[in-house]
Structure formats: C-alpha cells, structure tokens
Amino acid sequence: MRRASVFGMMAVLLLASSHGAANPSGVGSGTFDAQCGGACHGDADMNRSSPATVSVEAPSVAYNGLLTSVSVTVADIQTTANGLLGVFLLSDLTGAGDTPADDGWAILSNSEGGTENYVEARISSGQTEHTVSWTLRAPSIGTYNLHAAVHHGTQDGSEAPFFGSTLSPTVVEVVEVPENLPRLAADFAPPTQVTVGEASEIDLQTEFVNSVTVEWRTVGGESKTVVVQPLGDETWSFTLPPSVQPVVLEWRAHLEGDGPSQTTPWFQVNSDDPSWSVDETTAYAQSLAMLLAATSLFVALQHRRTASELKAYEAELDDVGGEA
C-alpha cells in the first residue's frame, strides 16, 4: 500500500511538472488581452507605471476588407536585465475582450515574424526606442479605436513589473472600397514563415490591376526590387531570395490600374531555422513508462533481497537445529 502511494505521488509530480512552471522570463508571443500586462507576471493590480511612452501610428482611413499597416512605437525604454519588452496592439484597454480580433481586425503578420497581437522584443542595452508593425485586414465599415500597451520587468528582475499604455486611442475610419481601385484579392494571405536557406516563391492575386512591381528589404535595410512574372487571371509571381541566417524580410507591392495607384503595406516573412516540435502526450507517456520500469526494477530488487534474507534465516535455523 505504501509503495502504491509513493508511486502515485511520483507519477502526479512527473506529469504536472511542466504545467506548474512560472514564466519569469516572459510568456512568448501570443494573442493576449491587456490584462496580461500584469497577470503574465503576477497580480495585475501590483503593476507599476512604466516610464516608457507608447504611441500608435495608423492611417486615418482604411478600406473594408483590404490590408493596412499599423505601427506601435515605444520610446524612453528602460532596458531590463534580460532585455525583454512586451508590446500589445489592442482595440481598447478594458483588460478583457480587447484584442484587435475582438473588433473584427485580422492580423496577417507583424514585424517580429508572427501573427499575434502581443510580441516580446529583445531590446539591446542602451536602446531607448523600438517599433513593432502589424499588417491588418480591415473590419466592416465603421469607426474603430486602436490602443497599444507595454509591460516589462525591472533592471535587476525584482519587485513588481511595469505596465504602460497609450494615453488616447488612434481612430481609424473604415470605408467602402472605391470602384476599380487596384488592390490585392480579398482572400490573399501572404506567407509569414520560411526556413533559412529556402527562397520564398509568392503568388500574388489582385483585382483591377494592370501591372505590379515589388520591392523587398531586411528590417531597416535598403530596398531592392524583384522580377514579377504575370501568370494570367490577375495572378503574379515573384521570388524573395533565401537568407543565410534567421532574419525578418519585408516586401510590398505597387499596384497600377485604371483607378488610383496603390501601395500595399510592408509584409513580413520570418526566415528561421528548422523547428523541432515535441508531442507532449508522447513525452508524458514515455516518462510514465520509464517511471513504471524503474518502479518494477525497484520491486524486483526488494523481492530478491527479501528472498535472500529468508534463505539466510533458514540456514541459520538449520545450523541452530544441528547444534542442538
């Protein structure tokens, strides 16, 4: 009975180990409400006001269902011990149900190489300003607010975390798409990930477009143009060059047609090393199997020891009987 209890306790501890871990070094990029600005590190009510200044830059007018670019700039950054800075793009600051998706925006990419409204950027020592950009598909016709927020730790990693947000929202009016406006197809979704060493071949679907030119760059680098091949039916193809190390590439298209010329937002493609995924269920099953094997070995050794002790005891009794 005692052995069964010990075995059960060990199994529970083994299976629950990863679920009980804290996140003292951030939580990673994800889709989070503003409440995570405190809850990711502990009680949100324990936050202190960040000295950083947070601002949102977005066009005052966007077209229903088309793509637009929004940037969040954080200034007066105080570099932390691990350099992590969490940046949120939000629809409001209520703390719940306030992601852009809650207002109908769809995030296609961000400049940190993901598709989430919250990113964790690594800030270099002495860096005082950082900008994160998002490419969004605009919601239905109407007027919308966009906010931003940040959270970060302290220099020595102690005490309560800091939280800061925009003082006032940036207002975007979403309007009907003008007739014959050169634009990307409504269902076009640019790729966001590519493996290091692989080129990115992209097929671009458009509407009311007669010609396309494409430029690309690394973040903060010089722009270069690529050759665009028409494939017919307003589909165009171009290839971004492969990278030799993890990096974020950006590209945008200039669209010409009968209506006013348009330039798309910068789209981001994260070039990264091949990822290795782990099936947690399989890992837990293997750990449990190893635990069972170890327990079985322990029981077998105990049984062998008990049998040896019994034989020794019987031998002693025989010796005592013989002497008598």
**Residue 179 bridge partners (DSSP):** none
The reported pLDDT for the residue numbered 46 is: 61
The reported pLDDT for the residue numbered 309 is: 63
128 in a domain, yes or no? yes
260 in a domain, yes or no? yes
Rounded CA gap, 266 and 279, in Å? 35
Residues 44 and 170 in one domain: yes
Task: Report pTM.
Answer: 0.70
5 in a domain, yes or no? no
Rounded CA gap, 281 and 107, in Å? 30
Q: Which domain holds residue 64?
A: 28-177
Rounded CA gap, 208 and 218, in Å? 29
Residues 43 and 146 in one domain: yes
Q: What is the largest CA-CA distance in the chain?
A: 120
CB 202 within 8 A of CB 239: yes
Q: Which residues of the chain have pLDDT under 70?
A: 1-26, 36-46, 79, 155-160, 273-285, 298-324
Q: What is the CATH number of the domain that holds 204?
A: 2.60.40.10
Residues 163 and 32 in one domain: yes
Residues 167 and 191 in one domain: no
The reported pLDDT for the residue numbered 182 is: 96
Helices 2-16 and 280-323, axial angle in degrees (round to 10): 160
Residues 64 and 130 in one domain: yes
Residues 71 and 134 in one domain: yes
Residues 168 and 96 in one domain: yes
> Which of 229, 244, 271 finishes a domain?
271
